[in-house]
Structure 1
Amino acid sequence: MITLYTYKPAFGEPAASPFCTKAIWLLNMSGQDWQREDLADPRKMPNQKLPAIRTDGQLIHDSDNIRSHLEGLGAEFDSGLSDMEKATSRAFIRMAEEHMYFHIVADRWCNDAVWPVIRETYFDSIPKMLRKLITNNLRKSVIQGTQFQGLGRWSDEERLARLEPDLQAILTRLWLGAYLFGDRPTAADASVAAMLTNMRATPGKTLLKTRVAEDEVLCRYIDRVSDALGKQWVTDGSASLCA
């Protein structure tokens, strides 16, 4: 039995992190029996990040490594794709995880109107009297990271303009079928839709959330992927079977 260590559900999504949502969807696609264990503090995990899985005495961190492990067990996330389609799939995954993701971070951590909801949701395990002090220091480091990365130096309007070509690339791929590479979900959908659904789920009202939430094609796509891959993620806070 595989155990997935993940952040708890948040804002109606399987997990507070799109990478954890991706891991949940890959596990569901893989056909492996698995259970989830929700963690609030990732510092004991490799690289101090989630998701991670424990299987056969191994602790495997990072959603890409989880994918590779599941493929080693026989999962075929890109079955039927040509070599050219697999190359394009990898490019879409990198677009989602190395660019689109940081727009979510900026929307949630850098926006003064959104941050209080993020703080109270992500860090509710910290005693209330200490929560602001501890999380404000953490927020400062995240904001500084967005400054180094670059997006934190831009206005919301500038960020949305930079993201728009990515969204158009996704919409163009969806001309071909219900999913990015045809009529069934593949690994690229697990990454791309995880980012889009987290954009749409951000609390409050931001330009990015509005752009995704008001796009009928993107919303139908998000919902299709979630229906196909994410039905069995509900947890009561303890480990729960998601086979």
Structure 2
Amino acid sequence: MITLITFAPSFGQPAASPFCIKAIWLLNMSGLAWTREDTADPRSMPKQKLPAIRVNDQIIPDSENIRSYLESQGADFDAGLSDMEKSTSRAFIRMAEEHMYFHVVMDRWGDDDVWPIIRDTYFAAIPKLLRGMITNKLRQTLMRGMHAQGLGRFTPQERLDRLEADLQAITTRLWHGPFLFGDRPTAADASVAAMLANMRATPGKTLMKMRIAEDEILCRYIDRASDAMNQPVSAASATLCA
């Protein structure tokens, strides 16, 4: 049995992190049996991040490593895709995980109106008297990292302008079908839709959150992906899909 170690659900999503949601959706699509174990503290994990899976006595960290493990067990998340489509899929995954993700971070950790909600949700296990002091240090460290990364130097409007081309690329792909590469979700949807879902679920009314929430095409896509991938696929169905 595979055990997914993940952050708990928050803001209407199956986990606080889009990478944890991606792992949940990949596990469901794999057709393999699994269970989940929620934690708020990833420091004992090999990379000190979540998600991770436990298989027997082995811990496999990182959503991309989880995908590789599931594929080694027979899962084929890109069944039926051409080599060109698989290349495009890889680019969409990197766009979501190496660019769009940092916009989520800035919206949740960098916005002074949103941060108190994030703090009290993510760090509820820390006693309230200590929570502010501990989390403020974490926030300062993270924001220094975002400044070094680059997005931390931009205003919210500048960030939204930078993100717009990504959203347009996703919308263009969706003119081809209900999912990025046709009639059923693939690995790219597990990354892209999870990221969009987290953007839309962010508390408050940030510019980015409202851009997603007011886009009918993207909202319908998020909802389709969530409906399709939140439910486990039977092993027999997964074999047929592959």
Residue type at the aligned position of 2:9: P
Distance 2:79 2:231 in 1: 22
Q: 3-state DSSP class of the match of 1:47?
A: coil
Where has structure 1 moved over 2 Å in runs of 4 or more?
none
Distance 1:89 1:56 in 2: 31
Q: What corresponds to 2:154 in structure 1?
A: 154
Distance 1:127 1:155 in 2: 33
Task: Give TM-score scaled by structure 1 length.
Answer: 0.95
Distance 1:106 1:44 in 2: 26
Deviations 1:136-161 (A, max 9, x none): 00000111111000000000000000
Q: What corresponds to 1:26 in structure 2?
A: 26
Residue type at the aligned position of 2:4: L
Could you tell me how far 1:230 is from its partner in structure 2?
1.1
Superposition map of 1:129-148 within 5 A: 129-148=129-148
Residue type at the aligned position of 2:199: M
Task: Give TM-score scaled by structure 2 length.
Answer: 0.95
Deviations 1:42-95 (A, max 9, x none): 000011000000013211000000000000000000000000000000000000
- Is structure 2 residue 72 aligned with structure 1 residue 95? no
Residue type at the aligned position of 1:114: V
Residue type at the aligned position of 2:104: I
Superposition map of 1:59-208 within 5 A: 59-208=59-208
Q: Which runs of 5+ in 1 are unaligned?
A: 233-243
Distance 2:45 2:71 in 1: 22
Distance 1:171 1:184 in 2: 16
Seq. identity, %: 72
Residue type at the aligned position of 1:173: R
Distance 2:17 2:142 in 1: 15
Q: What corresponds to 2:209 in structure 1?
A: 209
Distance 1:207 1:230 in 2: 27
Q: Which runs of 5+ in 2 are unaligned?
A: 233-242
Q: What corresponds to 1:223 in structure 2?
A: 223
Deviations 1:154-193 (A, max 9, x none): 0000000000000000000001000000000000000000
Aligned length, in residue pairs: 232
Distance 2:66 2:162 in 1: 30
Q: 3-state DSSP class of the match of 1:15?
A: coil
